[in-house]
Amino acid sequence: MKPIRLEIEGVNSFLEKQVIDFSAVLQEGIFGVFGNTGSGKSTILDAITLALYSKTQKNNKKDEYVNCKAKKAAVSFLFEILYEGRRRTFEFCREIFSGKRAGSACAYEYVGDEKLLLEDKSDNVSRLAERIVGLTFDDFNKCIALPQGEFARFAKSADAERLDIVARLFSLEKYGAQLYAKASAKANALESERDKLQAELSGYAEYGEEAKSALQREIAEKTEALEGLRKRNADVKRRLAEEEELCAAAREIAALRQELAALDGRKAEMKRAADRLENADLYDALYDAEEENKSAHSSLAEREKQVLSLRGELLRETEREKVLRADDWERTAETRAAELSGRIALLKNAEADAAAAEKLAAETENLREEYRKADAENKKTTLLLQNAKERLETNAVLLETLGEERDLYEAVTAGAKSACVREEYTFLKGENERRAERAMWLEKIIEEKLAAAKGGERVGDIEKLLAEEKEKNARRKRAAEAKIRLAEEYADALRRSGEQSAKLAALAEKGKSLAAELGSRRAAVEKLTGGVNYRSALIEAEREIAEIREKTEKRRKETEQTAERIRALSEKIAVSEKEIENFKNKIYETGEKSKKILAKCGIMNKDAALLLRLGEKDKAKLKEEVAAFAQKSAVAESKLAEKQAFLQGRTADEEKRAALKRESEEGEGAAERLNGEILAARTRLAICEEKSGIKNRLEEALALVLKRYDVAKLLQSIVKARQFLKYVANEYLEEITFAASATLLKLSSGNYGLRYKEEFFVTDNKNGGKERSVNTLSGGETFLVSLSLAFALSAAICARSDRPIEFFFLDEGFGTLDEELVETVLDSLEKFKSEKFSIGIISHVKELKERINCKILVKGATETEGSRIEIAY
Q: How far apart are CA 112 and CA 461, in angstroms?
A: 124
Question: Please, which residues have CB within 8 angstroms of residue 181's CB and are 6 or more apart in sequence?
Answer: none
Which class for 848: exposed (0-12), middle (13-18), buried (19 or more C-beta within 10 A)? buried
Confidence at residue 120, expressed as pLDDT on a 0 to 100 scale = 94
In a shared domain, residues 397 and 502: yes
Give the pLDDT band of residue 121 (cuts 50, 70, 90): very high
Is the Cα torsion angle 766, 768, 773, 774 positive or negative in sign? positive
Question: Does pLDDT of 407 surpass 50?
Answer: no
Q: Which span out of 272-281, 339-348, 773-782, 793-802 was modeled with the highest average pLDDT? A: 773-782
Question: Is 246 within the bounds of a domain?
Answer: yes
d(CA 135, CA 92): 16
Please count the structural domains in the chain: 3
Residue 824 has a CB neighbour count (10 Å cut-off) of 20
User: What is the pLDDT at residue 126?
Assistant: 95
Query: Quick one: average pLDDT of 787-803?
Result: 73
Q: Answer yes or no: do 419 and 513 share one domain.
A: yes
State pLDDT tens for residues 589-612.
777 777 776 667 666 666 666 666
Establish if 717 belongs to a structural domain: no
- Dist CA 803 CA 253 (whole Å): 107
User: Does residue 412 surpass a pLDDT of 50?
Assistant: no
> Per-residue pLDDT for 464 more than 50?
yes
The pLDDT of residue 151: 66
Q: Which residues contact 848 (CB under 8 A, 6 or more apart)?
A: 32, 34, 814, 822, 825, 826, 841
SS3 state at 734: helix
409 and 263 in one domain? Answer: no
Query: 98-107: which pairs have CB atoms within 8 A and are 24 or more residues apart?
Result: 98/62, 98/63, 98/66, 98/70, 98/71, 98/72, 99/63, 103/62, 103/72, 105/54
Same domain as 246, residue 109: no
- Listing DSSP states for 560-609 in one string gives HHHHHHHHHHHHHHHHHHHHHHHHHHHHHHHHHHHHHHHHHHT---HHHH
3-state SS assignment for residue 86: strand
Whether residue 4 contacts residue 89, with contact meaning beta carbons closer than 8 Å, is answered with yes
In this prediction, residues 298-311 reach a mean pLDDT of 82
Q: How confident is the model at residue 517 (pLDDT cuts 50, 70, 90)?
A: low
* Domain presence at residue 792: no
Beta strands per DSSP E along 16-136 = 18-21, 30-34, 72-83, 86-97, 104-111, 114-119
Render 115-131 in DSSP notation, one character per residue: EEEEE-SHHHHHHHHHH
Per-range mean pLDDT, top range of 166-170, 513-517, 533-537, 671-675: 671-675
Residue-wise pLDDT tens digits, 528-572:
656 556 667 777 777 877 877 777 778 778 777 888 888 888 888
* Closest among 181, 84, 248 to 652, alpha carbons compared: 248
Look at residues 300, 163, 311, 222 and name the one whose alpha carbon lies nearest to residue 680: 222
**Residue 489 scores a pLDDT above 80:** no
29 within 8 A of 835, measured Cβ to Cβ: yes
- Do 32 and 843 meet the contact criterion of CB atoms below 8 Å apart? yes
Which of 658, 677, 696 is where one domain is finished? 677
Least confident of 375-389, 617-631, 801-815: 801-815
Range of lowest pLDDT (667-671, 674-678, 798-802): 798-802
* SS3 assignment, position 15: coil
Quick check: helix, strand or coil at residue 410?
A: helix
Query: Taking a C-beta distance cutoff of 8 angstroms, is the pair 857, 870 a contact?
Result: yes
pLDDT score at 766: 86
Q: Do 500 and 390 share a domain, yes or no?
A: yes
User: What's the Rg (C-alpha) of the chain?
Assistant: 76
Task: Return the percentage of the chain with pLDDT > 70, whole number.
Answer: 72
Same domain, 1 and 112: yes
Residue 128 confidence (pLDDT): 96
Is residue 98 a contact partner of residue 87, using CB atoms and an 8 Å limit?
Answer: no
pLDDT in tens, 847-868: 778 888 899 999 999 988 999 9
Residue 162 predicted with pLDDT over 50? yes
Question: Are residues 132 and 118 in contact, defined by beta-carbon separation less than 8 angstroms?
Answer: no
8 A C-beta contact, residue 641 and residue 252: no
**How many other C-beta atoms can be found within 10 angstroms of the C-beta atom of residue 757?**
10
Query: Domain boundary at 677, 712, 732, which?
Result: 677
Contacts of 265-272 with CB under 8 Å at 24 or more apart are 266/629, 270/625, 270/626, 270/629, 270/630
Q: Is residue 141 included in any domain, yes or no?
A: no
The answer as to whether 472 is a domain residue is yes
Helix axes 406-417, 422-452, angle to 10 degrees: 160
Higher pLDDT, 655 or 192: 192
Name every residue whose Cβ is closer than 8 Å to that of residue 252 and which is 6 or more positions away in sequence: 639, 643
Taking the C-alpha atoms of residue 315 and residue 567, their distance in angstroms, rounded to an integer, is 12
- Asked if residue 114 is part of any domain, the answer here is yes
Q: Which residue has the higher pLDDT, 503 or 572?
A: 572
Q: Which 3 state secondary structure label does DSSP give 5? A: strand
Q: Which of 562, 637, 608, 623 is nearest to 261 (CA)?
A: 637
Q: 391-396 long-range contacts, Cβ below 8 Å, gap at least 24?
A: 391/486, 392/416, 392/483, 392/486, 392/487, 392/490, 395/479, 395/482, 395/483, 395/486
- Average pLDDT of the segment spanning 774-795: 79
User: In what order do the strands lie in the sheet containing 770-773?
Assistant: 752-756, 760-764, 770-773
Domain identity same for 127 and 233: no
Interstrand relation of 18-21 and 752-756 (parallel, antiparallel or unpaired): unpaired
Q: Which of 773, 787, 848, 864 is nearest to 814 (CA)?
A: 848
Q: Hey, how many other C-beta atoms are within 10 angstroms of the C-beta on 294?
A: 12
Average pLDDT over residues 37-50: 90
d(CA 226, CA 676): 11
Would residue 812 count as lying in a domain? yes
Per-residue pLDDT at 455: 47
pLDDT band at 669 (very low <50, low <70, confident <90, very high): confident
Can you tell me whether residue 134 is helix, strand or coil?
A: coil
d(CA 413, CA 490) in angstroms, rounded, equals 10
517 and 374 fall within a common domain = yes
Q: Domain containing 41 — which CATH number? A: 3.40.50.300
Longest dimension (CA), the chain: 216
Q: For residue 632, report the phi and psi dihedrals to the nearest 5 degrees.
A: -65, -40
Q: Is the pLDDT of residue 415 over 50?
A: no
**831-843: pLDDT as tens digits:** 766 667 788 888 8
Amino acid at 409: Y
Query: Is residue 269 pLDDT above 70, yes or no?
Result: yes
Q: Is 865 helix (H, G, I), strand (E, B) or coil?
A: coil
Listed residues 534, 550, 565: the one ending a domain = 534
Q: How much is the mean pLDDT over the chain?
A: 77
111 and 259 co-located in one domain: no
In a domain, 251, yes or no: yes
Residues 374 and 520 grouped into a single domain: yes
Measuring CA to CA, which residue among 688, 686, 679 is closest to residue 222?
Answer: 679
Handedness of CA 672, 673, 678, 682 (dihedral sign): positive
> How far is the C-alpha of 566 from the C-alpha of 655, rounded, in Å?
104
The per-residue pLDDT for 22 is 92
Tell me what pLDDT residue 499 has.
72
Domain housing 42: 1-134+807-873
Distances (CA, A) of 745 to 191, 597, 824, 836: 54, 139, 14, 22
Helix (H) and strand (E) counts for the chain? 23, 15
Question: What's the pLDDT at 707?
Answer: 92
How many angstroms separate the CA atoms of 813 and 414, rounded?
145
User: How far is the C-alpha of 870 from the C-alpha of 857, rounded, in Å?
Assistant: 5
318-339 pLDDT, tens digit per residue, is 887 777 666 556 667 667 677 7
Partners of 34 in the β-ladder: 843, 857
Residue 269 phi, psi (nearest 5) = -60, -45
